[in-house]
Structure 1
Amino acid sequence: MFSRVRPARLGHRIAATATALATVAAGVLLAAGSPSASAATAGGTAVPATIPLQITNNSGRAEPVYVYNLGTELSTGRQGWADAGGTFHAWPSGSNPPVPAPDASITGPAPGQTATVRLPKFSGRVYFSYGQKLVFKLTTGGLVQPAVQNPSDPNRDILFNWSEYTLNDSGLWINSTQVDMFSAPYAVGVQRSDGTTATTGHLRAGGYHGFFNALRAQSGGWAGLIRTRSDGTVLRALSPLYGVETGALPASVLDDYINRVWQKYATSTLTVTPFGDQPGVKYFGRVSGGVLNFTNSAGAVVTSFQKPDASSVFGCHRLLDAPNDQVRGPISRTLCAGFNRSTLLTNPNQPDGTAADFYRDAVTNHYARAVHAQMADGKAYAFAFDDVGNHESLVHDGNPQRASLILDPLD
Structure 2
Amino acid sequence: MLARLKVLATTGAAALVGALLGLGAPAPAEAATPDTIPLKITNNSGLGRPVYLYDLGTSLTTGQQGWADAGGAFHPWPAGGNPPTPAPDASIPGPAAGQSTTIRIPKFSGRIYFSYGQKLVFKLTTGGLVQPAVQNPSDPNRDIQFNWSEFTYDNSGLWLNSTQVDMFSVPYAVGVQRADGSTVSTGHLKSGGYNGVFSALRAQSGGWGGLIQTRSDGTVLRALSPGHGLETGALPAGVLDDYVNRVWQKYATATLTVTPFADQPGTRYYGRVSGNVMNFTNASGAVVTSFQKPDADSILGCHKLLDAPNDQVRGPISRTLCAGFNRSTLLVNPNQPDTSTAGFYQDPVTNHYARIIHERMADSKAYAFPFDDVGDHESLVHDSAPQQGYLTLDPLS
Q: TM-score, structure 1 length as denominator?
A: 0.93
Instruction: Select the residue among 177, 181, 201 that pairs with 1:191.
Output: 177
Letter in 2 for 1:175: N
Q: Within the alignment, does 1:200 sit opposite 2:192 as a pair?
A: no
Match of 2:224 in 1: 238
> 3-state SS of the aligned residue for 1:165?
strand
Match of 2:293 in 1: 307
Q: Within the alignment, does 1:298 sit opposite 2:284 as a pair?
A: yes
> 3-state SS of the aligned residue for 2:3?
coil
Q: Within the alignment, does 1:273 sit opposite 2:259 as a pair?
A: yes
Match of 1:164 in 2: 150
Rounded to whole Å, the distance in 2 between the matches of 1:44 and 1:86 is 23
Q: CA deviation at 1:290?
A: 1.5
Structure 2 matches for 1:74-89, cutoff 5 A? 74-89=60-75
Letter in 2 for 1:351: P
Rounded to whole Å, the distance in 2 between the matches of 1:197 and 1:74 is 25
**Coordinate RMSD, CA, aligned:** 1.6
- Does the Cα contact within 8 Å between 2:257 and 2:270 map onto a contact in 1? yes
Structure 2's unaligned 5+ residue stretches are none
Rounded to whole Å, the distance in 2 between the matches of 1:228 and 1:299 is 53
Structure 1 393/21 Cα, relative in aligned 2: closer, same or farther at 3 Å? closer
Letter in 2 for 1:316: C
Aligned residue pair count: 393
Instruction: Select the residue among 3, 7, 23 that pairs with 1:6.
Output: 3
Q: Give CA deviations for 1:240-282 in whole Å, capped at 9, x if unaligned.
A: 0000112111111000000000000000000000000000000
Q: Give CA deviations for 1:210-236 in whole Å, capped at 9, x if unaligned.
A: 101110000011001000000100000
Q: Give CA deviations for 1:136-180 in whole Å, capped at 9, x if unaligned.
A: 000001000100111100000000000010000110000000000
Q: Give CA deviations for 1:188-218 in whole Å, capped at 9, x if unaligned.
A: 0000010100000000000001101110000
Match of 1:151 in 2: 137
Q: TM-score, structure 2 length as denominator?
A: 0.96
Instruction: Select the residue among 278, 284, 288 that pairs with 2:270.
Output: 284
Letter in 2 for 1:6: A
Q: Within the alignment, does 1:397 sit opposite 2:397 as a pair?
A: no
Match of 1:221 in 2: 207
Match of 1:28 in 2: 20
Match of 1:48 in 2: 34
Q: CA deviation at 1:21?
A: 7.6
Q: CA deviation at 1:8?
A: 6.1
Letter in 2 for 1:336: C
> 3-state SS of the aligned residue for 2:58?
strand
Rounded to whole Å, the distance in 2 between the matches of 1:337 and 1:318 is 15
Q: Give CA deviations for 1:36-87 in whole Å, capped at 9, x if unaligned.
A: xxx5xx5344410000000000000010000000010001110000000000
Rounded to whole Å, the distance in 2 between the matches of 1:301 and 1:250 is 34
Q: Give CA deviations for 1:66-115 in whole Å, capped at 9, x if unaligned.
A: 00000100011100000000000000000100000000000000000000
Rounded to whole Å, the distance in 2 between the matches of 1:126 and 1:344 is 35
Match of 1:316 in 2: 302
- Does the Cα contact within 8 Å between 1:257 and 1:363 map onto a contact in 2? yes
Letter in 2 for 1:366: H
Q: Give CA deviations for 1:321-370 in whole Å, capped at 9, x if unaligned.
A: 00000000000000000000000000000001211210000000000000
> 3-state SS of the aligned residue for 2:118?
coil
Structure 1 30/16 Cα, relative in aligned 2: closer, same or farther at 3 Å? farther
Q: Give CA deviations for 1:9-50 in whole Å, capped at 9, x if unaligned.
A: 99xxxx9443x589xxxx615534x42xxx5xx534441000
